[in-house]
Structure 1
Amino acid sequence: MTAEAPLKEVEHELISTALEVEELDVNIFRSKSLWVPAYARGVFGGQVISQALVSATKSVDAAFGLHSLHCYFLTSASPATPILYTVERVRQGRSYVTRVVKAAQKGHIIFVMMCSFQKPEPWQPQYQWVMPNVPPPEACMLEEDRYRQAVNDPALNPKTRAYMGDLAVERARSPIAIKVAKNRWVNEDGSSQYAYWFQARDIPSYEAPYQKCILGYLSDLRLIGTVAQTLGLKGYALASGAQALGMSSTLDHSIYYYSDSFDCGDWLLYVMTASRAGSGRGVAHGQLYTKDGTLVAITSQEGVVRADIRAPPAKL
């Protein structure tokens, strides 16, 4: 381990430093820290989304609030090189503002995001889905505690025990606390849903623009995993053959924001479902609610989700 590595690990424990970017010039920003989750192929996608959002937000008048983003992950980001974010001011309208952010490493574009900001119109009519009935966060267990309990299961093989131990350490040090609210339930239409409580740990009282950047960070946690869960695929050290997850990686991600008055430092309920999987891909959708039931954001994500099975041999 290099001398720099512990510093970056400590930085990742704080959401404020995980999202921080350095302004190099007008519309040009650079990451200060990057984090790779355990057993992942590259930098955590939610961190790239949130750093790009911070960069874009710095170029927009405070009268406009972020209402949506759409992004593509073109290749995995390396933690060894800072990410350079370039903001393009595509449109400056009276009601809506549009920005495009391109993220690059070593001259190659690795990520592209288009985001739109709106002057709020609170006098317009409203509608939302009702939050499902789940146990409150106080009645649910932190994920790191759940993994620690699993490690003590005498029936686990050493490989699985080590895997669970790694996850327990990672979850305890994450800037985002997660609790399982409802592991799985099946709706009348046959769709499976999963629900988690999310909370940014130990954050001060941030204004709405930065709260939306934090939500962008946490929105990437667990979402594409819903596809694997729905398919019955299990991760590293938990299964083999057709039941094993061979690869999972985000292709694109969208968020629609419908509130300027939520606090990621309080618990948010993230309800997830996977609507389709096939051809090594899958689509997941999510809704984020405050504890009082206000639907503050809606997410969609498509990713590569492959079982650990080989393609049949090509016909000659």
Structure 2
Amino acid sequence: MSTLIRPPPVSPAHAPIENVLELTSLHDIDADLYTNSRPLWHPPGARGIFGGAAIAQCLSAAQKTVTHDFTVHSMHCYFVLAGNSEIPILYHVERVRSGKSFATRTVQARQRGKVIFTTTISFVRQNSGGEKLVEHAVTMPQVPTPLEGMDDFDHGSDAAGPFQSQRIEIFDYDSPHPHTKKCRQWIKARGTISPAGGHEAHLAALAYMSDSYFVGTIARVHKLWRFSPSRKNNTKSSIDEDVLKKLLAMDDDDLKRVEFLKPDDIERIRRLKSGRQERESKSADTPEIGMMVSLDHTIYFHDPRGFRADEWMFTEMETPWSGDGRGLVFQKMFSGDGRLIATCVQEVSS
């Protein structure tokens, strides 16, 4: 059973992402306890549910515990265990502090009594910064504008997902220096977010989409083959056996929807499936890496009420460092008119 309560009917007045992220209050048990109203997505080839769902639903739960004049400005998250899409998630909000200008909440997401995700979220009262402000922001790079009707990534094999994505060529891709490369895309929530959802719905949608295309940044800038399908010399594959089986069972359309696969990866899987894979020399010029796992995820919201998540937003990801089996990735998120609306940081492990 993937939800604790029978899912309510899908509301046509809400955008798909609002329905995906809908929470059910368990106030009869605890006033600050919530659960997912609908089944959560398990991306093909991933170890658990899409991380953006846990991020966004924790934010949604916390937003329900502050007054309307408080708005999130930062959240610091840790992925503890892989979430199981077949088990309901319980979100418990703790009201750590409720001050005049700032409020702090922690949220724990639990399955079978174990914490799978935890976050601390800080809210600020609107217009509490004073009359005279020191302001600056980085400018958005010049990139091709998104094309309506195009989508590089579907959320599932049977229906269009809750958001659209258009990826742009990696900046400086042929550079020998990984830290100079930038992975870029346009994203937006599909449909129109309802007025009833308010700014909270747009913030939850941004939080959900902030985890898109993020974890694989280091693998992309290093031009790494994300997993090894061979059993040469009886060495163990660096990808989970069950994940590889799922990939081999997919058709071309489904493979194209797997976020961490590039065209070269898909071609290798095709060769595996057809039995025509040639021996590949795993030399220094063709490095490989195991499945990437997000360790943590931080979002700083710079203009939390000044954007719409159902309009095109531009994101740019870069990595200043990797080593010791981990790597750090920065992401800048801009509104369509070029304003910096959020900055994200993630550490990943292979």
- TM-score, length-scaled by structure 2: 0.73
Q: For residue 25 of structure 2, what is the aligned residue in structure 1?
A: 23
Deviation at residue 188 of structure 1 after TM alignment: 12
What is the distance in 2 between the residues matched to 1:83 and 1:63? Answer: 28
Q: 1:225 is matched with which residue: 216, 225, 234? A: 216
What is the distance in 1 between the residues matched to 2:207 and 2:342? Answer: 10
Maintained 8 Å contact 2:299/2:345: yes
What is the distance in 1 between the residues matched to 2:186 and 2:313? Answer: 6
Q: 1:175 is matched with which residue: 158, 162, 166? A: 162
1:253 aligns with 2:293: no
What is the distance in 2 between the residues matched to 1:64 and 1:188? Answer: 45
Deviation at residue 210 of structure 1 after TM alignment: 1.6
Question: Residues 83 and 139 (structure 1 numbering): CA distance in 2 closer, same or farther, change over 3 Å?
Answer: closer
Question: Residues 170 and 230 (structure 1 numbering): CA distance in 2 closer, same or farther, change over 3 Å?
Answer: farther
Worse-matched range after superposition: 177-186 or 128-137: 177-186
Q: 2:202 is matched with which residue: 211, 217, 226? A: 211
Deviation at residue 171 of structure 1 after TM alignment: 10
Post-superposition CA distance 1:169-189 (Å, at most 9, x none): 649622111001332326998
Maintained 8 Å contact 1:143/1:168: no
Deviation at residue 70 of structure 1 after TM alignment: 0.2
| Residue type at the aligned position of 2:83 | A
Q: For residue 247 of structure 2, what is the aligned residue in structure 1?
A: none
Q: For residue 332 of structure 2, what is the aligned residue in structure 1?
A: 287
Write 1 or 2 for the structure with the bigger share of strand: 1
Maintained 8 Å contact 2:294/2:349: yes
Q: 2:144 is matched with which residue: 135, 156, 159? A: 135
| Residue type at the aligned position of 1:233 | L
Worse-matched range after superposition: 132-141 or 36-45: 132-141
Post-superposition CA distance 1:220-243 (Å, at most 9, x none): 011111111122213357267563
Unaligned regions of 5+ residues in structure 1, if any?
A: 145-166, 306-316
| Residue type at the aligned position of 1:92 | S
What is the distance in 2 between the residues matched to 1:192 and 1:299? Answer: 17
Maintained 8 Å contact 1:99/1:115: yes
| Residue type at the aligned position of 1:294 | R
What is the distance in 2 between the residues matched to 1:233 and 1:74? Answer: 26
Question: Residues 283 and 140 (structure 1 numbering): CA distance in 2 closer, same or farther, change over 3 Å?
Answer: farther
| SS in structure 2 of the partner of residue 214 of structure 1 | helix
| Residue type at the aligned position of 1:57 | Q
Maintained 8 Å contact 2:108/2:119: yes
What is the distance in 1 between the residues matched to 2:291 and 2:199? Answer: 35
Question: Residues 15 and 105 (structure 1 numbering): CA distance in 2 closer, same or farther, change over 3 Å?
Answer: same
Q: For residue 150 of structure 1, what is the aligned residue in structure 2?
A: none
Deviation at residue 3 of structure 1 after TM alignment: 12
1:200 aligns with 2:189: yes
| SS in structure 1 of the partner of residue 73 of structure 2 | strand
| SS in structure 2 of the partner of residue 207 of structure 1 | helix
Q: For residue 84 of structure 1, what is the aligned residue in structure 2?
A: 90
Deviation at residue 209 of structure 1 after TM alignment: 1.7
Deviation at residue 140 of structure 1 after TM alignment: 9.6
Maintained 8 Å contact 1:43/1:77: yes
Question: Residues 277 and 28 (structure 1 numbering): CA distance in 2 closer, same or farther, change over 3 Å?
Answer: same
Deviation at residue 204 of structure 1 after TM alignment: 2.6
What is the distance in 1 between the residues matched to 2:213 and 2:202? Answer: 19
What is the distance in 1 between the residues matched to 2:149 and 2:168? Answer: 6
| Residue type at the aligned position of 2:180 | S
Maintained 8 Å contact 1:234/1:245: yes
- Identity, % of aligned positions: 31
1:185 aligns with 2:172: yes
Question: Residues 203 and 235 (structure 1 numbering): CA distance in 2 closer, same or farther, change over 3 Å?
Answer: farther
Q: 1:243 is matched with which residue: 267, 284, 287? A: 287
| Residue type at the aligned position of 2:134 | P
| SS in structure 1 of the partner of residue 206 of structure 2 | helix
What is the distance in 2 between the residues matched to 1:224 and 1:128? Answer: 25
Question: Residues 107 and 197 (structure 1 numbering): CA distance in 2 closer, same or farther, change over 3 Å?
Answer: same
Aligned residues: 278
Q: For residue 149 of structure 1, what is the aligned residue in structure 2?
A: none
- TM-score, length-scaled by structure 1: 0.80
Question: Residues 3 and 301 (structure 1 numbering): CA distance in 2 closer, same or farther, change over 3 Å?
Answer: closer
Question: Residues 258 and 168 (structure 1 numbering): CA distance in 2 closer, same or farther, change over 3 Å?
Answer: closer
Aligned CA RMSD, in angstroms, stands at 2.8
Paired residues for 1:115-134 under 5 Å: 115-121=121-127, 123=131, 124-134=133-143
What is the distance in 2 between the residues matched to 1:130 and 1:171? Answer: 38
1:37 aligns with 2:46: no
